[in-house]
Amino acid sequence: MNYRKARQRMIDEHISGRGIRDLLVLAAMGRVEREKFVPSHIQEFAYSDRPLPIECEQTISQPYMVALMTEALELKGGEQVLEIGTGSGYAAAVLAEIADQVVSIERMTQLADHARTVLKELNYDNITVVAGDGTKGCAEFAPYDAIVVTAGGPQVPQSLRQQLKVGGRLVMPVGPTETFQTLVRVTRLEQEKFKQEDLCSVRFVPLLGEEGWSENQHENKSDPHL
């Protein structure tokens, strides 16, 4: 299979074809080899515009959603970015093609270890993968120019708000239930002043952790986002 042609077709039909216009995002999506982030037996589907199953009953993100969330961050290059929910490492790689440094947090140690290995093999030396509770962020490397959360929570965690630089943007699914959310963008205008915008309706896996959904509230661990 010619993955390069499949990747370009994905961009033409499902990324730029669905309205993504940021040239940095389009270029990043064109450079990241999505087939390296999916199990070998489903690599032929790597450039279909849908989530695919990975380890720990989780999914690799839909390419269009990765592009949409990355574009919403309005990156220009040179930023320090925090990602919550490493998963396969695919979205972190897209971010790393634009940003200077990416810190990615994954609550499942097995996924964090696997993503770390794949990213190292692909020479992404500007990504730091941390195993832990993403709802609390990563104060060690804060503040961040941008934060992206790839799971849906009942509200934006206060820890993440406080780790965002003034002028920085946070993109995250937020909603009253675990299975339906609104993708929002929060901009830190001043030290204690934030602006929130609703972008679109989405469906993501639940954000579990101290400042997200608790384990006993968790309804369905395998819901893929659309």
Q: Which of 16, 40, 48, 61 is catalytic?
A: 61
| C-alpha distances in Å from residue 34, one per residue of 156, 190, 205 | 29, 37, 20
Q: Are 112 and 39 in contact (CB under 8 A)?
A: no
**Rounded-to-integer distance, Cα 19 and Cα 24, Å:** 14
| DSSP string of 21-44, one letter each residue | --HHHHHHHHHS-GGGGS-GGGGG
Q: Is 48 part of the annotated catalytic residue set?
A: no
Q: Are 188 and 161 in contact (CB under 8 A)?
A: yes
* Residues catalogued as catalytic: 61
